[in-house]
Amino acid sequence: MYVCSCFGVTDKQVEEHAAAGACTPRQIASVTKAGTDCGSCVRTIQGLLGRRACPRREVLEKGGGAAAALAAVPAGITGPGPELAEAA
């Protein structure tokens, strides 16, 4: 199913990037552009990401702080998510 019709991004692509470590719609956007044009797909992407295991989220929930959370981000994933903005 297409999640982002502006850039032709499918739910399978979002799930693949999530499995590779993307935790936020912003991180999905950095690799697929989904959500960067009209923005109508952002909520769908959030739903697909759900509460998956996320290294940054797990570190922040344990009180590791923003620096530790950044260190937990897998290589190749860019763009701070709202979790870091709240922790800073």
pLDDT tops 80 at residue 36: yes
Q: How far is the C-alpha of 56 from the C-alpha of 81, rounded, in Å?
A: 9
Closest CA to 7 of 26, 33, 25, 27: 33
> What is residue 82's predicted lDDT score, i.e. its pLDDT?
47
pLDDT tops 60 at residue 75: no
pLDDT tops 70 at residue 74: no
pLDDT tops 60 at residue 70: no
In three-state secondary structure terms, 54 is: coil
What is the pTM (predicted TM-score) of this model? 0.61
**Residue 45 host element (H or E):** helix 42-49
State the chain's mean pLDDT as an integer: 76
pLDDT tops 60 at residue 40: yes
The two three-digit tokens of residue 6, written as one number: 């502006």
